[in-house]
């Protein structure tokens, strides 16, 4: 079996299938495994899977289990409502966890290495093809790989999706900036690292929470881009970030200098399609169902996809 894509979804699927006794080769386009970004929120539907994989304790040691999610007015900073996140664990049996994306990625990568997944880097897949009894992928280098089944976890701009749909990513006109603040910064002393805080305002929101046992404060600033709405190509630039949050409270504005100004994430999704499977090739994660960021479930759904595939293998064998 081949898995294309060495992100969180691809690694999760490779581990899930390998633990069912299948031989898995994973192809990653980059020269080395790694993950960009900062924090990620893991709701109980993900931490239950990490627990099933035997990885939850390690994940908790790398992240933070927050006490509450607090929604505040971005303009005046006033608290609007509060959700007890510890109650989620009491209700569902598994915690709500926040963790650095690279820490979750590294955890899954190490699990794949221990399980015996064949990990190949610098392997950019440009084409997919069904072969009757299996499937073949062609690399940019000219090499090919064949297996009985190919799982494409190649993200929003998937090459495999073209087998199933003639569509393109859909712009939301929203963009996200991210950044982390070290615990030694005076800014961190002003926050409760046991909270996931969400400041909501007109056309923008600002999120922060602790990472790595409170050693970092993760920040995310999201806003609607006037340049995108006007059809311009140069949208989401730092000048738009500053303008979008100009009317927010001091605490939010004071966090903007900590954002990475040399990179930003334009928010896209895709229209739903009727199937994610083309004979021996299947889509997983963002190449199948890319969401916007508002429910913090994109990577989680990719992890769920991989877990479900493994469960189907186990059930079919037991039938």
The CATH code of the domain that includes 195 is 3.30.9.30
Co-location of 12 and 85 in the same domain: no
Please give the pLDDT value at position 253: 98
The SS3 call for residue 27 is strand
For the segment 55-60, the average pLDDT, to the nearest whole number, is: 98
**Do 158 and 273 contact (CB within 8 A), yes or no?**
no
The two three-digit tokens of residue 318, written as one number: 């037991």
Co-location of 130 and 195 in the same domain: no
Please give the pLDDT value at position 317: 86
**Do 115 and 264 contact (CB within 8 A), yes or no?**
no
Quick one: 206 exposed, middle or buried, by C-beta within 10 A (0-12, 13-18, 19+)?
buried
Confidence of residue 132 (pLDDT cuts 50, 70, 90): confident
Co-location of 295 and 225 in the same domain: no
* Residue 270 in this model has a pLDDT that exceeds 90: yes
**Catalytic option among 94, 96, 177, 209:** 209
CA 41 – CA 39 distance, rounded (Å): 7
- Run of H or E including 114: helix 101-115
Co-location of 29 and 107 in the same domain: yes
* Residue 34 in this model has a pLDDT that exceeds 90: no
Confidence of residue 36 (pLDDT cuts 50, 70, 90): confident
The domain tally of the chain equals: 2
Q: What residue ranges in 11-77 does DSSP mark as E strands?
A: 25-27, 39-42, 68-73
The two three-digit tokens of residue 271, written as one number: 């229209």
Proportion of the chain above pLDDT 70, given as a percent: 100
Co-location of 139 and 215 in the same domain: no
Q: List, for residues 69-102, the tens digit of each pLDDT value.
A: 999 999 999 999 999 999 999 999 999 999 999 9
For the segment 112-117, the average pLDDT, to the nearest whole number, is: 98
End-to-end CA distance of the chain: 21
For the segment 95-117, the average pLDDT, to the nearest whole number, is: 97
Co-location of 149 and 229 in the same domain: no
* Residue 10 in this model has a pLDDT that exceeds 90: yes
Co-location of 185 and 264 in the same domain: yes
What's the pTM?
0.95
Of residues 235, 205, 197, the one with CA closest to residue 222: 205
Co-location of 190 and 257 in the same domain: yes
* Residue 319 in this model has a pLDDT that exceeds 80: no
Structural domain of 54: 44-95+170-269
Confidence of residue 137 (pLDDT cuts 50, 70, 90): very high
Of residues 237, 246, 267, 257, the one with CA closest to residue 201: 246
CA atoms within 13 A on the CB side of 107: 23
Co-location of 162 and 182 in the same domain: no
CA 292 – CA 289 distance, rounded (Å): 10
Confidence of residue 310 (pLDDT cuts 50, 70, 90): very high
Please give the pLDDT value at position 295: 86
Widest CA span in the chain: 62
Q: List Cβ neighbours of 211 (8 Å cut-off, separation of 6 or more).
A: 38, 39, 63, 64, 98, 99, 100, 180, 217, 218
Co-location of 143 and 278 in the same domain: yes
Find the angle CA(160)-CA(288)-CA(141) to the nearest 5 degrees: 25
CATH number at residue 124: 3.50.50.60
Q: List Cβ neighbours of 49 (8 Å cut-off, separation of 6 or more).
A: 12, 303, 304, 307
Name 198's bridge partners: 71, 207
Q: List, for residues 234-246, the tens digit of each pLDDT value.
A: 999 999 999 999 9
Co-location of 123 and 202 in the same domain: no
Catalytic residue list contains 209: yes
Co-location of 89 and 238 in the same domain: yes
Task: Quote the mean pLDDT of the chain.
Answer: 96
């Amino acid at each position: 079996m081949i898995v294309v894509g060495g992100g969180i979804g691809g690694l999760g699927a490779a581990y899930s299938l390998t633990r069912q006794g299948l031989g898995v080769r994973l192809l990653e386009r980059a020269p080395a495994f790694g993950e960009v970004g900062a924090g990620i929120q893991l709701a109980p539907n993900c931490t239950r899977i990490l627990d099933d994989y035997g990885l939850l304790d390690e994940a908790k040691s790398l992240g933070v289990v927050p006490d509450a999610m607090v929604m505040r007015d971005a303009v005046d900073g006033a608290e609007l409502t509060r959700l007890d996140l510890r109650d989620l664990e009491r209700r569902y049996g598994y915690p709500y966890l926040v963790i650095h994306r690279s820490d979750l990625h590294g955890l899954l990568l190490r699990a794949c290495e221990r399980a015996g997944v064949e990990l190949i880097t610098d392997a950019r897949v440009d084409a997919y093809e069904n072969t009757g009894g299996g499937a073949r992928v062609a690399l940019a280098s000219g090499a090919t790989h064949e297996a009985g089944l190919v799982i494409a976890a190649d993200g929003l701009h998937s090459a495999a999706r073209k087998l199933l749909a003639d569509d393109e990513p859909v712009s939301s006109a929203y963009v996200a900036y991210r950044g982390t603040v070290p615990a030694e910064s005076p800014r961190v002393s002003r926050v409760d690292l046991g909270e996931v805080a969400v400041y909501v305002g007109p056309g923008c929101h600002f999120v922060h929470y602790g990472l790595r046992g409170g050693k970092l404060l993760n920040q995310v600033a999201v806003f609607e881009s006037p340049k995108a709405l006007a059809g311009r190509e140069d949208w989401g630039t730092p000048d738009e970030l500053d303008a979008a949050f100009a009317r927010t409270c001091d605490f939010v504005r004071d966090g903007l200098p900590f954002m990475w100004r040399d990179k930003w994430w334009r928010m896209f999704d895709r229209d739903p399609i009727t199937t994610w499977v083309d004979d021996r090739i299947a889509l997983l994660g963002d190449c199948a169902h890319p969401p916007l960021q508002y429910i913090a479930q994109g990577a989680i759904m990719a992890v769920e996809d991989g877990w479900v595939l493994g469960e189907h293998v186990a059930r079919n064998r037991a039938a």
